[in-house]
Structure 1
Amino acid sequence: MITPIKLYRAPKSGHCHRVELMLAFLDLPYETIDLDMANGAHKAPDFLQISPFGLVPAIDDGGYTLADSNAILVYLANTYAKDTGWLLSDPKAAAEVQRWLTVAADNIYAGPCAARLVKVFGVPLDHAASVTKAHDLFKIMDSHLSTRAWLATDQITIADIAGYSYIAHAPEGGVDLVPYPNIRAWLGRVEAQPGFVAMAASPIPELA
């Protein structure tokens, strides 16, 4: 019997949902451990042994611990789905995947993720600037997806998993997805994959 992978998470974190989505798509047994972030559980000494920077998500896979959502996606794909298309070894395809992982860590974080942090969690960031960055990103992505089904290659990869969660929940941050039909179609394709699990939703604010 395979020991379930422990996923340390905050249920409404898009970073954490990326990992849960990948675990579900790969049909891997996993156990979610929700941390009481408000009371500092992520800074407790025992958790810092797993995630030295005190960040979620983090996993414990039979004693191997790893934090950082994109790193975990790479690990899971290489360990449990090698040569299945989730993470490709062809240099050009691998580079395209990496490019979108960088977009997830930079543009998505600064745009739809940051806007949602303000509206859902009350984080003191510049909401207007985050919304502008989100729309700048979405215009490029919508054009990119006008001629293709997936972000990096001709099939779903971890690039799509890394991008999905915060974009799907962008309206919770006050970022309207209606002007972006190709992005909405892409979100639908991700959601149609066998094993899809949704992230806990938050109320959607009035859109300006």
Structure 2
Amino acid sequence: MKLYTFPLSGHAHRAQLMLNLLAIEHDEEFVDLAKGAHKTPDFLKLNAFGQVPVLVDGKHVIADSNAILVYLARKSVDTNWLPHDPAKEAAVQRWLSVAAGQIAFGPAAARLVTVFGAKFNTEEVIARAHSILGVIDAQLARRDWIADIDSAHPTIADVALYSYIASAPEGNVDLSGYANVNAWLRRVEALPGFVPFKKTAAGLAA
């Protein structure tokens, strides 16, 4: 397998993290977003949206970080990452939608302001971040992992949420008031095969 990635992308880190948690051998190719490598004709053949990550597995080309998580989980013999039971799978999918929605428009957007100079309303995106973090903190008050499936094993929902929550302080989102979230971050980081998301000196992390 080959993963097209960019080290400061939380979306790319999700895919990298999952590959390592599953101990899947793979190559990684750096896509220089600053130089527009994601907009070249060759890359656009892989992903017409011009975004990382992209996973190439033989004849299969999978774009979108959450799609990659689903693909890798389904290829794994360990069904704990994405249960086959419809209700449990739906419980995981719910949080993939949160990763693509409230997380993307909250802590991820706040980080885009400080790290990449994105022109978002800072107060608005930080408020969104705290809103979803409050929900997640309450969810984690009664379980170790995010999905409502009564399992002692993490799922791809935890992988999908991790990167941009862990890096939220880079976007001036203070995590100190979320004890359950912080405990969950440490549990993810203790998983065999964990690889950290590259840190930047921005926001509260400066």
Q: TM-score scaled by structure 1?
A: 0.94
| Equivalent AA in structure 1 for residue 180 of structure 2 | N
Structure-2 residue corresponding to 1:112? 107
Structure-2 residue corresponding to 1:15? 11
Q: How does 1:1-208 map to 2 (within 5 A)?
A: 5-79=1-75, 81-152=76-147, 153=149, 154=151, 155-206=153-204
Name stretches of at least 5 consecutive residues in structure 2 with no aligned partner.
none
Displacement of 1:66 in angstroms is 1.1
Q: Distance in 1 between matches of 2:91 and 2:186?
A: 21
Displacement of 1:63 in angstroms is 2.8
| Equivalent AA in structure 2 for residue 130 of structure 1 | V
Q: Distance in 2 between matches of 1:71 and 1:180?
A: 29
Displacement of 1:82 in angstroms is 4.1
Q: Distance in 2 between matches of 1:21 and 1:83?
A: 16
Dislocated runs of 4+, deviation >4 Å: none
Displacement of 1:160 in angstroms is 0.3
Structure 1 stretch displaced more, 153-162 or 104-113 = 153-162
Q: Deviations over 1:149-199 (max 9, x none)?
A: 000132200000000000000000000000000000001000000000011
Kindly tell me the number of residue pairs found equivalent between the two proteins: 202
Displacement of 1:52 in angstroms is 1.4
| Equivalent AA in structure 2 for residue 95 of structure 1 | A
Displacement of 1:127 in angstroms is 1.4
Q: Deviations over 1:93-143 (max 9, x none)?
A: 101000000000000000000000001111111111110000000111111
* Native 8 Å contact 2:173 2:204 kept in 1: no
Percent identity over the alignment? 51
Q: Distance in 2 between matches of 1:119 and 1:186?
A: 25
